[in-house]
Amino acid sequence: MFDTVLVANRGEIAVRVIRTLRSLGVRSVAVFSDADADARHVREADTAVRIGPAPAAESYLSVERLLEAAARTGAQAVHPGYGFLAENAAFARACADAGLVFIGPPADAIALMGDKIRAKETVEAAGVPVVPGGRDPELAEAAHKLGAPVLLKPSAGGGGKGMRLVRDLTLLDDEIAAARREARASFGDDTLLVERWVDRPRHIEIQVLADGHGNVVHLGERECSLQRRHQKVVEEAPSVLLDEATRAAMGEAAVQAARSCGYAGAGTVEFIVPGNDPSSYYFMEMNTRLQVEHPVTELVTGLDLVEWQLRVAAGERLPFAQEDITLTGHAVEARICAEDPARGFLPSGGTVVMLHEPRGDGIRTDSGLSEGTEVGSLYDPMLSKVIAYGPDRATALRKLRAALADTVTLGVPTNAGFLRRLLAHPAVVAGELDTGLVEREADSLIQDEVPEEVYEAAAAVRLDALRPKGEGWTDPFSVPSGWRLGGAPKPVGFQLRVSEPVEYVPRGSHTVTEDQVAVTLDGVRHTFRRAGDWLGRDGDAWQVRDHDPVAASLSGADRSGAGSLTAPMPGTVTVVKVAVGDQVTAGQSLLVVEAMKMEHVVSAPHAGTVAELDVTPGATVAMDQVLAVVTPAEEDQ
């Protein structure tokens, strides 16, 4: 076994790898950019090395700086985690050239499986069923031969980037052009392939483990059908769709896929499966790294996959055969991301001012967070994962819903409440899943109306902020009790994140402390976690902002009208297309804001004149920061 391992990653996966290294008595080396100088993975490692400025290209993606950090700390091996350079064959080769062990498969296997076209050809030759399709340069011809609908995919990448579903082949040329642009921007390679689209498919993947001595086993499957924009949000093991015969057949196909490329270490073979015919499964791709969802496999098999990655990389043989692998119980994982469902799942950000991560019987949280963590727009939005285990699926789902309700990340909007409602959806409870379910049901899982008790709690927070602090006599007329001489109670003005300003008249009783707000309405007590102006309950969060419409109108400082354009997410302004004084039309693109590899176009809400422009290209902006003001044309006043 190694003495020292460098973890070439950040966030929750770096913390996860460090945990196993510590349990094995192996010294861990963390790396960090300037933005992560006080990050949790840095504090938990035995040693940490600064590797550059905040942009990933100058730090976590810099092969030269990572190798230099390994040399400076005496590391013998490098664990890449997932993302960044985890599936980069050139990095694996560079580690070997530097005398370092890359904790992953051979570089040739990474390169082969990273090319989707070559990967399909290789596994098909090994007898693994693949989705019917075609490739460049006969892309259009193959698409017409398959017939609509078809799926366009970049050959060089993953994560859903560049994938386009084409249901109308008269639009094929435009869709191909768009897919090429996105593939070129994301992966530097615009080569595409086309596959037959399977309606209402299920996404099932098989975990494989191979050593360097020719032994390969599979560790059962994971159901990953709950996705949004081709990104997994909930995963579970095992799948309710598969019987023992299908599980064995898919497992053997995954083993053959691994053998076909000379694989070693932990890897995942992904299949697309028609929901009405699970015996007709098709190879999609192989991920040559640890998967985000690996904890569910660990819980049902009892194996630490990071430990076995390390042992295999150190040259050890697998001490178990396929017949020794058993799946016990059920596990479900939910990904907590810095995104705001109420804003169309746009990336969010901010400072974590209160953090409570669930623990307990059958509950595991893998996280890179701590209180005070600054969540910015430079890196992946996933913050943590909450995993529940039980003797059966119903128990695991129930435990995970409760754990999500107990999850508090105040200061940074997340999808925790959305995931809790998703896990209670009748189709999810019944196991009737497909990759389009989340998209179809998303609107019904987002809270359109704010419950009255939230307004009551928000009013309590605002009143507490206005209440005179200090000792001694207090003028009773200065106490913000809402009482007015000879009139109705005075309303409290405030604005909740993503809602219009309100003036609310409190009608219940409330108790406010530094970390909690309790309100009683109609005999029912409601309790919220509180940190400053943030409130949280059942995975949802609200920020309570001051709003005094009279003072704003008198000062002329109210810029929250329909003509003000605000940043939809924290990020960087990449494009500014107008100047002050320009005449614009309704819907015209004015600016582009980028965050976490997502671009958002800010358009004119109406025809008019650009009266103010507060940003320039390259400017960093906060969520809801005013970017520009467009004065309406006279006919639109």
Q: Which pair of structure tokens corresponds to residue 459?
A: 């009013």
598: phi then psi, degrees, rounded to nearest 5: -115, 130
pTM of the model as a whole: 0.88
State which fold the 201-445 domain adopts: D-amino Acid Aminotransferase; Chain A, domain 1 (3.30.470)
Q: Which of 74, 98, 102 is nearest to 89 (CA)?
A: 102
State which fold the 132-196 domain adopts: Dna Ligase; domain 1 (3.30.1490)
Domain 4-103 in CATH 3.40.50.20? The answer is: yes
Residues 6+ apart with CB under 8 A from 486: none
Q: Determine the pLDDT at residue 571.
A: 87
The DSSP letter of residue 594 is: E
Q: Which residues of the chain fall below pLDDT 70? A: 158-159, 469-489, 498-499, 548-562, 597, 634-637
b/e for 367-381, b at 16 or more Cβ within 10 A? Answer: bbbeeebebbbbbbb
354 and 307 in contact (C-beta within 8 Å)? no
Q: How far, CA to CA in Å, does 222 sit from each of 114, 158, 394, 557?
A: 21, 18, 16, 54
Stretch(es) of the chain classified as CATH 3.30.1490.20: 132-196
Q: Which of 204, 182, 205, 203 is nearest to 192 (CA)?
A: 182
* Three-state SS sequence of 444-511: HHCCCCCCHHHHHHHHHHHHHHHCCCCCCCCCHHHCCCCCCCCCCCCCEEEEECCCCCEEECCCCEEE
Between CA 30 and CA 12 the distance in angstroms is 12
265 and 217 in contact (C-beta within 8 Å)? no
Q: Determine the pLDDT at residue 474.
A: 55
Between CA 308 and CA 23 the distance in angstroms is 13
Position of tokens 């309710």?
240
86: phi then psi, degrees, rounded to nearest 5: -60, -30
Stretch(es) of the chain classified as CATH 2.40.50.100: 559-636
Between CA 474 and CA 476 the distance in angstroms is 6
321 and 217 in contact (C-beta within 8 Å)? yes
Q: Which of 9, 6, 157 is nearest to 74 (CA)?
A: 6
Between CA 628 and CA 578 the distance in angstroms is 10
The DSSP letter of residue 377 is: S
Give CA 147 to chain center in angstroms.
33
Look up the CATH architecture of domain 559-636: Beta Barrel (2.40)
Residues 6+ apart with CB under 8 A from 633: 606, 607, 608, 609
The three-class DSSP label of residue 348 is: coil
Q: Determine the pLDDT at residue 110.
A: 97
Stretch(es) of the chain classified as CATH 3.30.470.20: 201-445
33 and 9 in contact (C-beta within 8 Å)? no
Q: Determine the pLDDT at residue 483.
A: 52
573 and 627 in contact (C-beta within 8 Å)? yes
Question: Could you tell me how many residues make up the chain?
Answer: 637
b/e for 439-471, b at 16 or more Cβ within 10 A? Answer: eebeeebbeeebeebbbbbbbbbbbbeeeeeee
The DSSP letter of residue 635 is: G
Q: Which pair of structure tokens corresponds to residue 289?
A: 């790294």
Q: Determine the pLDDT at residue 555.
A: 40
Residue 369 host element (H or E): none
Dihedral sign, Cα of residue 51, residue 55, residue 46, residue 17: negative
Give CA 145 to chain center in angstroms.
36
57: amino acid identity, one letter: A
Between CA 199 and CA 201 the distance in angstroms is 5
Q: How far, CA to CA in Å, does 627 sit from each of 568, 570, 585, 590?
A: 10, 12, 17, 10
184: amino acid identity, one letter: R
